[in-house]
Amino acid sequence: MKITLSKNLLLKNLQILSGVIQMNHPLPILENFLFEISIGQLKITASDLDSTMSCVMEIESRKTGAYALPSRMFIDILKTLPEQPLTFDFLENHTVEIISLTGNYVSAYSDANQYPKAVEVEKASTIILPSKVLSEAISKTIFATGNDDLRPIMTGVYFKFSKEALIFVATDAHRLVRYKREDVNCSQTVEFIMPKKPLNVLKGILSDTYDDVTIEYNISNAKYSFGNTELICRLIDGKYPNFEAVIPKENPNKMVVDKMQLLNAVNCVSVFSSRESHQIRLKISGAELNISAEDIDYSNKAEERMTCDYQGEDIYIGFNARFLADMLKNIHSKEVQIEMSQPNRAGILSPVDGLEEGEEVLMLIMPSLIK
């Protein structure tokens, strides 16, 4: 059986799907792409059992068939070829020949019957979101998820949809991000926790699409459909912690400062911080912000001074430089506001400008003890 399709379009889709594939998987068949061919259409699937992603392409074909093709080899060869029509000739001896304008390439394929079937999302509820909203929500939160497998609920992003707003939350217990959209709502209350890996895959795709995203979900799985693509993933089981309880409500000390100037100062000073704690210290008095770090073990010390707009009592507080820098990088605003109450209470970062109407971003960072 032969099929013909565009090299660039095929490579683009395979690179997207490859984000799901886990090399050296206990089930070797999942290191392959599943090609399912019908008349005039090709469906390509990638899976790691927890997540299954597929896309559909229009092709020239007059027969049907299914084949499992090695993912790494096919992406590597397609990267080296210029844009051109490619013909795939699937032979009965379990090999496939790729015919280009200037050469031929032959590889073995595996039995498609060994490839696991995708989970059906049964008795599902549905919500439709603009792709831009979901893309922004993932980008603003995913960096704050944890990596501790002993606390799996913190390794994902919490989705809460209601009639009032859409809320997305991520935390690793040291920092927390809450992204809210009051300009988009849902007719019913929805709560689930999305794993990090499929969200990273979605993040890479949604930034390039204008299609609305249809989310179908039940107690254990969620399915995302947009354009010619579908992603089905297993949700994280468990109850998300009461994140609202850890957000300080009274923060009388407020500082507004140029974001890039602060980020550059944090990056410079952090080079001299302790390799264990990565602590930097903020001393705010009047209109001056002093940022310092010290590593006693290596006799390293650094200090930066800058002006700020500050209202409140003088304060001396420590933060993890890496966490603070991550937050500043993910705030798209010329100026940032940092709210504080006491040196042992969390600080709250929020953008001063650059938000759409109904959009809200709150980032919380726990302080580190100044020794």
Residue 324 has a pLDDT of 97
**What is the average pLDDT across 6-26?**
95
Tell me the pLDDT tens digit for each residue of 59-85: 878 889 999 999 999 999 999 999 999
Residue 28 has a pLDDT of 95
* Chain center to CA of 348: 22
- 10 pLDDT band, cuts 50/70/90, is very high
Average pLDDT along the chain: 94
Find, among 237, 300, 305, 311, the residue nearest to 270 by Cα.
Answer: 300
Please state whether beta strands 2-6 and 347-351 pair in parallel, antiparallel, or not at all (unpaired).
unpaired
- Contact between 206 and 213 (Cβ < 8 Å): yes
Residue 188 has pLDDT above 90, yes or no: no
Q: Which amino acid is at 62?
A: R
- 20 pLDDT band, cuts 50/70/90, is very high
**What is the average pLDDT across 151-166?**
94
Residue 307 has a pLDDT of 97
CA–CA separation, 233 and 79 (whole Å): 28
Tell me the pLDDT tens digit for each residue of 198-233: 999 999 899 887 789 999 999 999 999 999 999 999
Residue 123 has a pLDDT of 87
| Percent of the chain at pLDDT exceeding 70 | 100
CA–CA separation, 347 and 315 (whole Å): 12
Q: What is the DSSP string of 287-316?
A: TEEEEEEEEGGGTEEEEEEEE-EEESS-EE
Three-class SS state of 92:
coil
Domains (ranges, CATH) in the chain? 2-114 (3.10.150.10), 125-244 (3.10.150.10), 248-365 (3.10.150.10)
Residue 207 has a pLDDT of 80
CA–CA separation, 234 and 309 (whole Å): 46
71-80 vs 7-17: helix axis angle to the nearest 10? 140
- 53 pLDDT band, cuts 50/70/90, is very high
**What is the average pLDDT across 91-97?**
94
- 184 pLDDT band, cuts 50/70/90, is confident
Residue 251 has pLDDT above 90, yes or no: yes
196-206 vs 131-141: helix axis angle to the nearest 10? 130
Residue 11 has a pLDDT of 96
Residue 371 has pLDDT above 80, yes or no: no
81: its two tokens: 């070829």
CA–CA separation, 140 and 331 (whole Å): 8
Please state whether beta strands 175-181 and 190-195 pair in parallel, antiparallel, or not at all (unpaired).
unpaired
Three-class SS state of 83:
coil
Q: What is the torsional sign of CA 134, 30, 12, 87? A: negative
Tell me the pLDDT tens digit for each residue of 319-366: 999 999 999 999 999 999 999 999 999 999 999 998 999 999 999 999
Residue 151: how many other CB atoms lie within 10 Å: 13
Residue 189 has pLDDT above 90, yes or no: no
360: its two tokens: 């809200």
Residue 328 has a pLDDT of 97
Alpha-carbon distances, residue 198 vs 21, 193, 243 (angstroms): 11, 12, 23
Residue 185 has a pLDDT of 82
